Structure 1
Amino acid sequence: MNLYSKYLKKYKFPFGVAVTCVILEAFCDLLGPTLMSNIINTGIEQGSLSKVYYWGILMLIVTAIGACFAITRNILASTVSQHMGADLRYDLFGKIMYFSEVSADKIESGSLITRMTNDTAQVVLFVNGIMRIFMKAPITCVGSIILATILNFRLSLIIYSVVAIVAILIMVSMRLSYPRFYELQNAMDKMNSVIQEYLIGVRLVKAFGTYDKETDKFESSNINLMEKGVASQIIVTLISPLMTLAVGVGTVAAIFAGSKLFSSNLANPGDITAFTIYMAQILTSLIMITNVFNVFVRTKASTARIKEVFDCDEDFTDSGEKKELNGDIEFDNVTFAYPSGSGIPAIKDLSFSVKRGQSLAIIGPTGSGKSTIAWLLLRFYDVNRGRILIDGYDVRDINVECVRDNIAIVPQKPMLFSGSIAENIRWGNSKATNEIVHQAADGAQADFIYKMQEGYESLLGSAGVNISGGQKQRISIARGILKDSSVLILDDATSALDAVTEAKVRANLISKFENKTIITITQRCGTAMFADKILVMDNGTKAGYGTHDELIESCEIYQDIYRTQIESSKEV
């Protein structure tokens, strides 16, 4: 597993000590039957009590030493495996943090959670097992076979037959189990996604009363997970008893053959007893080895899923030069289709420009490509054709972090995080003082904060579930104001605000960003008409571009929006 080589290298010393302890422990266990044979052959059979004491005390000492090795490897195994699991989760999270949008679209969030938790836990279990028992099983098995052969070659032929049968069963188990365990993990992904979707949309479910539908979705995914679990375990369930049967038959055959050899003076009681114990050790080792391969197969499936995450494309974090940007923006014949979409362009041959200090409103029907413009400007995706220029530089030639540092976006759906209101606003500038945070909130008309019991230290639930939609939007706007970047994008960011509050927010933004670029994505004509320029989008193409007065005269789509929203409201 090359994926884990760097982790094994990091913990090479404790891992090596643990493996050494496992080997020495196995050696101590292997000495047990031989010492027992000496107690019977040289002590009990010959009536020498001193020999019984001698070999008995030696057997106790060897057992105690083996126990010390076992304790040491258990402590090391637990410590190393848990540290390795923590490192693996950290690296996975770091990888996900720099996912490109294409990668984020490729693997669902529910699946990512499963891979970071369940799949990683499976790897931890495997590493812990290697250091505790997995190394011991083959050593004990091979050692038992060798020592049993030394004791009596004739009886050892039975062991070789049993081991050959068990090896075939293990190969069959591995071949049949791997695809089933992979499907099991995918089924777990689906169930986690269903649960996550419900938790995110729980209020909508309550509002529409779609409990039965959600229950049916969960039941379907839960039953699917159960069926995949049964399918993955049924191989193990069938193989293990067959292995036990094979070893059991071998033990009976060994005892029967031993009795024949004893009657012919070809074996003594101590050898037969030791041989029987070695058979028991071989049985235990083979069962362990079977479990090892079952865990290995499951870990292999988990490793493949983890590797998929590490193999995903990262964002454009290291590309381009760092530049000081002022905010002049130009789209030059831009065409773009979402990589994981239908292939139909979301934007076609789009050209427009906006200068620093100007405000641009982008308006159009739902699905006309308005938000896509923001995602392309932030370089979440690269265009298929054409260029996006900032201050005359192609965004592909500018360091992506530099681009995003100079653009603040207030998304259509405000995303808040668990923590205080002040912490959420400081996402715009982590070093901002309390005074600057308060100024940003005042600019966003977030006066409701002062009415809350703890003020700016009031805690928000995940996604801000304990405040209203309008309050979320104002906190999100305050975050954008606090960033104080060259370009501010408001993606339908005032849709939950009333007209008076929106007007106050707009006035504050114009004052605050007087020498900067403001792009407002909206479906409201009443919001768009106050911008210096208006871009009208329709089905991914530019349907109009100009001032409100110019578009009223020349753009039919804008005229329809104006009549529908403004004139009809006057008539009412």
Structure 2
Amino acid sequence: MIPDFPDEPEPSERRHPLNSLWRLRRYLHPYRSRMIYMLVLAGIATAASLAVPRLIQAVIDGPISNGDTTGLWLLGGIVAILGIAEGVVVWLRRYIQAKVALGLEADMRSDLYAHMQRLHAGFHDRWQTGQLLARATSDLGSMRRFLAWGLIFGLMSIVTYVAVVVQLLTLHLWLGLIVAISAIPLFIVARNFARNFIAASRAVQDQQGEVANIAEQAAQGIRVMKAFGRAPHIQANFDEQANILKDLSIRKMTISAKSWALFTVIPNTTLAIVLVGGVVSVANDSMSLGSLVAFVTLQLMLIWPIEALGWIIANGNEAMTAADRVQDVFDTEPSIVDPENPVAVDRSTITGHVRFEDVRFQYEETDTPVLDGVNLDIRPGETLAIAGTTGSGKTTLVSLIPRLYDVTSGRVTVDGIDIADMRLTDVRTVVTMAFEDPTLFSMSVRENLTLGRAEATDDDIDEALRVAQAEFVHDLPFGLDTRVGEQGLSLSGGQRQRLALARAVIVRPAVLVLDDPLSALDVHTEELVERALASVLSGTTAIIVVHRPSTVALADRVALLENGTITAIGTHRELLETTPAYAEVLSAEAEEVTA
């Protein structure tokens, strides 16, 4: 079933797509001179093509009528020269146009990608990846085609139409007026086409994002699909969305086809009237044969711009709706940014003293705070474990330290400096985080390991691999230069976790945040990693989210997180003796691990 196009909101409530396209005009500024060259070249080509009908008139009314073969060759040569010149100019214009078009698209895509990287994690939690991919690919392609091709072609089509009509009026007033008046129904058709097409175009582009999202999720979750035998279900879902896209596209093309048909019928009907009227005028000696041929030749020059008017309008509407969708992303302001007057931070002097001072945090889409008045003091060089039931907010708590999210109220400090007063680059040099679900990129092992510290030496890499028990990389086909597959799926879960841990260790941060990075390891490997990690943590402040009781062995103290706040803190033994809730949490975690 095809979804109905949404009703357009009142003008005061909506951002018109044309405004979105206009706001992106800044990308044209670096190419202004080249676009002027294109317009000049297009003008030269148009002038050359407009001169040909007049020369044909001169040939027919002159050398042909008078039997002057010398004059015929002269005028024929001029026509040939003009044709060759027009071809050269058109080639040069299209060459420049192609460079401008691809440059525009590259600039927009680079800025869009950079802007998405600046947006906070909450934005990416809410937005579907497929929708973002559609905006960065097909939508930018639509904008590029219009800004570099459709816009220039549209302007030159208008200039050509006006110039031809003026010449037609000078050749024969009444026949010229008939052609000029035919612009009225063309304008009405174009207006109705633009009005109907813009909603259809937005619906198709949104649905393209849905299809891209399903395809992207299916590619990433192919193992889960196969393991659960749900490939037919996912296929059915994809087919359903693909069929909706097909039906929406057919509806869009139906609107285009009706308009294009009228764009063809109106000028051809006008041409038929002109031919009849022209023949009568020639018979009455009110118009020469050469003038009639020139008139018809000029009028034929209008058919292509008029028929292409549908393409220009369609392309323009697609570009406007694409710009509107892209502007949705650009209009989302980064909420986690550098302060106006950042505090200078010298990494060599940071000891890693972390404090949570009455910290509260609430996700934008929820009404209930996840953290409600957290106070915590983590001493320099201390290893603190965060324990709590599933969903208690442990990962959210530690994600505040590297500013993946910002506190709703309160503050987080490192060595007494509010992290909100530091540059983001400084924060993420001081603080490094390893996640339970590690993400590896489709690049070499070495590139993945040195992602946070590009200048790391081979000795640094070897030490990090030893700590994370990840020396297995040397047995890969090309060692450290082996390229891992997307998401690192060519490796096991434990191998991915160990590489992610090594990547965090290699940065040598003052504060190391570990969100249960050992959950996928077997007991023997976990013990080896913990022993090696203990030596690394001796001089580093570490905050470890505990999902397995065995991980508590790394901690000097443990903090229990309940109902959004820290309810108990002490050594593992102390909490077992004094806090029944802590023992219950460990028992629940142990049951989950063995289940």
TM-score (norm 1): 0.95
Structure 2 alignment gaps of length 5 or more:
1-20
- 2:500 counterpart of 1:470: no
The separation in 1 between residues aligned to 2:473 and 2:117, in whole angstroms, is 31
- 2:120 counterpart of 1:120: no
- Larger mean Cα displacement after TM superposition, 279-288 or 167-176: 279-288
The separation in 1 between residues aligned to 2:392 and 2:199, in whole angstroms, is 43
The separation in 2 between residues aligned to 1:33 and 1:323, in whole angstroms, is 75
Residue 240 of structure 2 corresponds to 220
Residue 260 of structure 1 corresponds to 280
| Contact kept in structure 2, 1:368 and 1:539, CA below 8 Å | yes
The separation in 1 between residues aligned to 2:207 and 2:276, in whole angstroms, is 49
For residues 106-164 of structure 1, the C-alpha deviation after alignment (integer angstroms, 9 at most, x for no partner) is 53222221111111222222234248743432222111101000100011121122111
Superposed displacement of residue 355, structure 1: 0.8
| Contact kept in structure 1, 2:383 and 2:537, CA below 8 Å | no
For residues 329-355 of structure 1, the C-alpha deviation after alignment (integer angstroms, 9 at most, x for no partner) is 12122221112x323212122222211
**Secondary structure, aligned partner of 1:534:** strand
> What is the identity, as a one-letter code, of the residue corresponding to 2:289?
P
**Secondary structure, aligned partner of 1:169:** helix
| Contact kept in structure 1, 2:548 and 2:590, CA below 8 Å | no
> What is the identity, as a one-letter code, of the residue corresponding to 2:359?
V
The separation in 1 between residues aligned to 2:480 and 2:278, in whole angstroms, is 84
For residues 158-191 of structure 1, the C-alpha deviation after alignment (integer angstroms, 9 at most, x for no partner) is 1122111111111111111112111211111111
Superposed displacement of residue 53, structure 1: 2.6
Residue 209 of structure 2 corresponds to 189
The separation in 2 between residues aligned to 1:172 and 1:563, in whole angstroms, is 69
For residues 475-502 of structure 1, the C-alpha deviation after alignment (integer angstroms, 9 at most, x for no partner) is 1111111111011111010001122322
> What is the identity, as a one-letter code, of the residue corresponding to 2:345?
K
Residue 345 of structure 2 corresponds to 323
- 2:254 counterpart of 1:201: no
The separation in 2 between residues aligned to 1:567 and 1:495, in whole angstroms, is 14
**Secondary structure, aligned partner of 2:255:** helix
| Contact kept in structure 2, 1:371 and 1:521, CA below 8 Å | yes
> What is the identity, as a one-letter code, of the residue corresponding to 2:561?
M
| Contact kept in structure 1, 2:146 and 2:319, CA below 8 Å | yes
Moved beyond 6 Å, runs of 4+: 566-570
Change (3 A) 1:403 1:162: same
Superposed displacement of residue 530, structure 1: 4.4
> What is the identity, as a one-letter code, of the residue corresponding to 2:344?
K
- Larger mean Cα displacement after TM superposition, 460-469 or 391-400: 391-400
Output aligned runs, 1:508-519, within 5 Å: 508-519=532-543
2:314 to 286, 294, 315: 294
The separation in 1 between residues aligned to 2:130 and 2:591, in whole angstroms, is 46
**Secondary structure, aligned partner of 2:451:** helix
Change (3 A) 1:246 1:131: closer
| Contact kept in structure 1, 2:402 and 2:428, CA below 8 Å | yes
Superposed displacement of residue 514, structure 1: 1.1
Output aligned runs, 1:391-430, within 5 Å: 391-430=415-454
For residues 310-345 of structure 1, the C-alpha deviation after alignment (integer angstroms, 9 at most, x for no partner) is 222236443132324321112122221112x32321
Corresponding residue pairs, total? 570
> What is the identity, as a one-letter code, of the residue corresponding to 2:447?
E
The separation in 1 between residues aligned to 2:554 and 2:171, in whole angstroms, is 97
| Contact kept in structure 2, 1:494 and 1:502, CA below 8 Å | yes
The separation in 1 between residues aligned to 2:148 and 2:26, in whole angstroms, is 17
**Secondary structure, aligned partner of 2:87:** helix
Residue 269 of structure 2 corresponds to 249
Residue 364 of structure 1 corresponds to 388
1:26 to 21, 46, 50: 46
> What is the identity, as a one-letter code, of the residue corresponding to 2:378?
V
> What is the identity, as a one-letter code, of the residue corresponding to 1:235?
I
- 2:331 counterpart of 1:306: no
| Contact kept in structure 2, 1:407 and 1:485, CA below 8 Å | yes
Superposed displacement of residue 290, structure 1: 2.5
**Secondary structure, aligned partner of 2:544:** strand
| Contact kept in structure 1, 2:358 and 2:374, CA below 8 Å | yes
The separation in 2 between residues aligned to 1:422 and 1:214, in whole angstroms, is 35
Residue 387 of structure 1 corresponds to 411
The separation in 2 between residues aligned to 1:476 and 1:185, in whole angstroms, is 37
The separation in 2 between residues aligned to 1:2 and 1:157, in whole angstroms, is 35
- 2:374 counterpart of 1:350: yes
Residue 13 of structure 2 corresponds to none
TM-score (norm 2): 0.91
- Larger mean Cα displacement after TM superposition, 278-287 or 166-175: 278-287
Q: Percent identity?
A: 25
For residues 206-249 of structure 1, the C-alpha deviation after alignment (integer angstroms, 9 at most, x for no partner) is 11110111101211221121122122222111001112111111
- 2:472 counterpart of 1:448: yes
Change (3 A) 1:272 1:343: same
Change (3 A) 1:455 1:71: closer
Residue 82 of structure 2 corresponds to 62
| Contact kept in structure 2, 1:367 and 1:539, CA below 8 Å | no
For residues 274-332 of structure 1, the C-alpha deviation after alignment (integer angstroms, 9 at most, x for no partner) is 22122211121111223212111111111122222222223644313232432111212
